[in-house]
Structure 1
């Protein structure tokens, strides 16, 4: 499998931006007079084909107009992604790459991020005093904040690129009008901010952690009913590639963090494509696009879905990909946190057996392998804790999904069903 030239460069860029050499980039970006006292990698993000971004916690000494020096903590981002011109971004050319550096929250692609992170400005927008907590941030792509009032959590804010906000707002409104359990859209701003109500229930991940017990089958049926309820108008949106359809890109990302296993990573991607080609994905239907345990909220007692979130990828697609996303994510939980998910190994096979009855089993298992392949790079941690065992476990899991896909493909019952 041939590695795209731009992707081949990204591994080297990520290695550089997480090495001691990054200090010189940070110093150059800080400008004259500012002294970099300390720095550390806080987060790293690799979007294959679109560049890499790294977040740093830094301590600097800044000269003041009166001649004094003030020590401050800052959060800086360095990215090789192409960004719109912005006064708050410094471009540093090094190692043949243009690296763009900015101080959070002045993200060049997320112009309203500063507002979303400001309690005062959000209070003005919403017309009531609120506090803000940043829950997640992917440089140049998106951010999520929790919005609380004096009586507790009242809403969540999602920051996206301005070009994406209108379509995302339409998705939320379509879901509400169709009666699909999803957050009510409270406010949207053309510069890239959407505010949605806090939904009831708890993340499906919490329930899976405790174990589903006698409700394992009924919960899966409840998840299928939500997918069945997605409105047909969703299919009018642009179709986005499923995770497995970008297997080559994710193989590169996986090989970047596990270079000694690059042959295996690309072999997984190659076989994912081969098995998808000889199986049937089913009709084009409305899909969630990122349907897994963190994006589904359920009732604490009943097998009932109370809300689905992160609907950015919702549009036309194949049901098998939503199911593969769900099952693929579940299969890596024992590697991610084995003590937190002791029941998955017993309950995942039940969901798999139910899913294989509703979609082509070869397509399902091959696409599960593709989903897990996309999760390998995410195992790498920057806090110093051990992560390679997790990453290798995910690679082994993707190979196990492929083995099951091959077994189905070669079975007599499958050949007869395919005619």
Structure 2
């Protein structure tokens, strides 16, 4: 295995060096690498990088076996876990694992096994046979979390896989939320290996309803739901908000696009209102609230998803997260521009946070979201990243005009300024 020096973390897990590692890993699976496609890159500058690849392995008998392989420079974290491999050449060491053998998510193995899932569902009061179970991996962040959809008897649940130490707390949180009347998925049970069985909510995501031109919930309905978050969440561990993790995103963007590093640092400095936010009341918050986390049925809010991050925080960060995603979505999906413009105006109008503070906090969330193209590395990701960085820059440039007082044409004007 040859490739970049050990200082080039991303170059080791994505690119020619990664291709050599994938071929060695395919040989360990008993075949030759026929093709591969990058799914995502998770880079923590100075700490390491992990990339997930979809591969097809051709075996000697001619059969083709699809697999998902993860490559990481953080070899020490593997600690001899089952299903992992360490590849070494000169000063380069790479760790490899084949899904579902994520060393930090041992629950992913049973969550991807129909027999184990049937047993788990039966233990949760849903008698199930292995032959009736179908499984689909819906989301995966290496060593952090995964979501598997399990279907049986015409119904489905979601298996949330987290590091084992977090599972019981997540289970209790969902039970507390539903007991308090919050429209959240009910937890049916948990597995000590880190699997939480969550009831499927009805309806479609808020994002999907906007894309289809269907009615969406009134803004006051969403924030009334957030007001019902129970006070018990204040006892949960305090998790950094998107904005409080902005230093990581600044480093990631600077490492991925050195030409944009100065712009990134300038935007982060101009959007920095950490001292003002620290003086605000600490209240129960969602922690990662945006249009893909909200379920809608016939124009009414029917539930809120992904409450892993729920706990103590500041209301301004939930509001900024919603606004930032509404502002950014048209850059990826132009068909929702009009819908997002109307929603952005409505949610700005009902926001309870001080307007300029909220505006700058929203710009900072947008800066963190600009890492999206960097993570997926699809063709043209550099151009998209530059475009996405343009939105928080334009927002801050126009802050002196008090844009939050403008009407539904605010978002189209912001987007037009980005394109100029």
- TM-score, normalising length: structure 1: 0.84
CA RMSD in angstroms, aligned pairs only: 2.8
State the 1:406 CA deviation: 5.1
Aligned pairs, how many? Answer: 389
Instruction: Choose 54-63 or 175-184, whichever is displaced more.
Output: 54-63
Per-residue CA deviation, residues 62-94 of structure 1 (Å, 9 max, x unaligned), is 56xxxx676533221112343443032112346
Distance 1:185 1:261, change over 3 A: same
Aligned mate of 1:378, from 348, 372, 378 = 372
Q: 2:112: which partner in 1? A: 117
Q: 1:367: which partner in 2? A: 361
Q: 2:384: which partner in 1? A: 390
Q: 2:17: which partner in 1? A: 21
Per-residue CA deviation, residues 210-255 of structure 1 (Å, 9 max, x unaligned), is 4577x7xx61101110110000000101111111112221112223
Q: 2:53: which partner in 1? A: 56
Aligned mate of 2:187, from 185, 188, 212 = 185
Distance 1:10 1:208, change over 3 A: farther
Contact 2:219 2:346 in 1 (8 A): no
State the 1:387 CA deviation: 3.9
Is 1:235 equivalent to 2:237 in the alignment? no
State the 1:323 CA deviation: 0.5
Q: 2:296: which partner in 1? A: 298
State the 1:28 CA deviation: 3.9
Is 1:72 equivalent to 2:69 in the alignment? no
Instruction: Choose 70-79 or 167-176, whichever is displaced more.
Output: 70-79
Q: 2:418: which partner in 1? A: none
State the 1:382 CA deviation: 5.4
Distance 1:354 1:97, change over 3 A: farther
Q: 1:38: which partner in 2? A: 34
Aligned mate of 1:161, from 160, 163, 169 = 163
State the 1:371 CA deviation: 1.2
The unaligned stretches of length 5 or more in structure 2 are 123-127, 406-420
The unaligned stretches of length 5 or more in structure 1 are 1-8, 412-419
Aligned mate of 2:211, from 209, 213, 222 = 209
Contact 2:78 2:84 in 1 (8 A): no
Q: What SS does the corresponding residue of 1:286 show, helix, strand or coil?
A: strand
Is 1:144 equivalent to 2:147 in the alignment? yes
Aligned mate of 2:395, from 401, 411, 415 = 401
Q: 1:6: which partner in 2? A: none
State the 1:285 CA deviation: 0.2
Q: 1:92: which partner in 2? A: 87
In structure 1, C-alpha distance between the alignment counterparts of 2:90 and 2:314, rounded to whole Å: 42
State the 1:270 CA deviation: 2.0
Instruction: Map 1:263-302; keep pairs closer than 5 Å.
Output: 263-273=262-272, 275-278=273-276, 282-301=280-299
State the 1:46 CA deviation: 1.9
Instruction: Choose 128-137 or 85-94, whichever is displaced more.
Output: 85-94
Is 1:325 equivalent to 2:327 in the alignment? no
Distance 1:262 1:300, change over 3 A: same
In structure 2, C-alpha distance between the alignment counterparts of 1:60 and 1:130, rounded to whole Å: 26
Q: 2:413: which partner in 1? A: none
Distance 1:33 1:14, change over 3 A: closer
- TM-score, normalising length: structure 2: 0.84
State the 1:353 CA deviation: 3.2
Is 1:176 equivalent to 2:169 in the alignment? no
Distance 1:366 1:33, change over 3 A: closer
Instruction: Choose 173-182 or 77-86, whichever is displaced more.
Output: 77-86
Per-residue CA deviation, residues 23-59 of structure 1 (Å, 9 max, x unaligned), is 2222444566945333323312325355322122333
Q: What SS does the corresponding residue of 2:240 show, helix, strand or coil?
A: coil
Q: What SS does the corresponding residue of 1:316 show, helix, strand or coil?
A: strand
State the 1:258 CA deviation: 3.1
Q: What SS does the corresponding residue of 1:73 show, helix, strand or coil?
A: strand
Q: Following superposition, which runs of at least 4 residues in structure 1 exceed 6 angstroms of deviation?
A: none
